[in-house]
Amino acid sequence: MTATVATATLRPRTTTATDSARLRWGRRFQHGGWFVAPFFVLYGLFVVVPVVRGLYLSFTDANISGDHTSFIGLANYREALQDDLVWSSLWHSVKFTLWVVPMIVVVALLMALLAHHTVHFKWLWRLCFFAPFLLPSAVVGNLWWWLFQPTNGMVNHVLGLQTPWLAQKSTAMLAVVIATLWWTVGFSFLLYLAALQNIPQHLYEAAELDGAGPFRRLLHITVPNLRNITGLVLALQILASLQVFDQAVVMYQFGPGPEESTRTFVQYTLEQGFTSYRVGYASAISFILFVVIAAVALGRMWLLRRREEDAR
């Protein structure tokens, strides 16, 4: 009996799948976990905690002072869905997105083609196309506010017009679109330029030997090889454009524009939080925008997955 117990005691324990996984993750954390731990700590403090806090505030009647906060459930969301200014500001953001995103895609591609095929001073073209992207939003807004002035603005002077770009509803949002296009197209330009440089040159040589002209090479070689980068540019620009705020606010001196035609969703959220002092209501509005942006991102991922499955 004693020998049997001793033999059972000395018998090595069988390693289970759970033990193997624990050992594997322990080794991974030992090698690289301490390097990424500061990022996760800061990400939790400055992203996760504020998001959770904002979600809680969206179910309360909190004000900017933080006093007398009470839980009111879905009242803020019901009010937001019935608020005409919520829908109008959301439409302004969507309209801005529908205008500026196709322009950025087309202009960025044309700029990349020009910089890629230019023989001399390539560095100068790239610098000139990308330099505006490095400017702060306040500088861009004030610069284009001056350029769009009806009497001494450069835009009217060059075009020979007297159009009050910033003072009439029909051109107010267009002015913001033009300023945003000039400011942000440089980033998409760099993405397209990098993608153009990765297209194999022998494809163009073979097409040229077959008698294909420049337009056919562009249509049948360049554009198909840029499909993935175009999807990336579209996704990034849509997500950024739905959150438009800085340039529109600066160009219209922190106002909603003529006949409130440039009040965006983010601007209306900040007005409710820091002008009307309704922090709870502003939090609910911001989570509505979060749902819209998340739906766009998930839709993009679904389309990309469908495309990959169809390509197999």
Residue 2 in any domain: the answer is no
Give strand pairing partners of 278: 63
Spatial distance between the Cα atoms of 270 and 275, rounded to a whole number of angstroms: 7
Count the neighbouring beta carbons within 10 Å of the beta carbon of residue 173.
20
Query: In the chain, how many domains are there?
Result: 1
Percentage of the chain beyond pLDDT 70 is 89
Tell me: pLDDT of 147 over 60. Answer: yes
Within-domain flag for 16: no
For residues 127 and 108, give the distance between their C-alpha atoms in angstroms, rounded to a whole number: 14
**Confidence (pLDDT) at 308:** 73
Tell whether 115 is covered by a domain.
Answer: yes
pLDDT range class, residue 64, cuts 50, 70, 90: confident
Percent of the chain as helix, strand, coil, to the nearest 5: 75, 0, 20
Encoded tokens for 312: 């197999």
What's the CATH code of the domain at 263? 1.10.3720.10
The answer to whether position 62 is within a domain reads no
The answer to whether 216 and 207 have CB atoms below 8 angstroms apart is: yes
What's the CA gap between 172 and 292, in Å, rounded? Answer: 25
Q: How confident is the model at residue 297 (pLDDT cuts 50, 70, 90)?
A: confident
Categorize the per-residue pLDDT at 114 as very low, low, confident or very high, splitting at 50, 70 and 90. very high
Other Cβ atoms within 10 Å of 202 Cβ, number: 8
Q: Would residue 72 count as lying in a domain?
A: no
Residue 211 — pLDDT band, cuts 50, 70, 90?
confident
DSSP-derived 3-state class of residue 71: strand
pLDDT in tens, 152-184: 899 999 988 888 999 999 999 999 999 999 999
SS (H, E, C) 236-250: HHHHHHCCCCHHHHH
Q: Which two tokens stand for residue 89?
A: 């500001």
> Is 80 inside a domain boundary?
no
What is the average pLDDT value for the chain, to the nearest integer? 87
Where would I find the beta strands (DSSP E) of 54-119? none
Q: Is residue 262 part of a domain?
A: yes
Report if residue 10 sits inside a domain.
no
Contact 172, 262 (CB under 8 A): yes
Q: What is the span of the domain harbouring residue 185?
A: 85-311
Q: Report the range of poorest mean pLDDT among 28-37, 38-47, 69-78, 303-312.
A: 28-37
Which of 98, 183, 93 is CA-nearest to residue 139?
Answer: 183
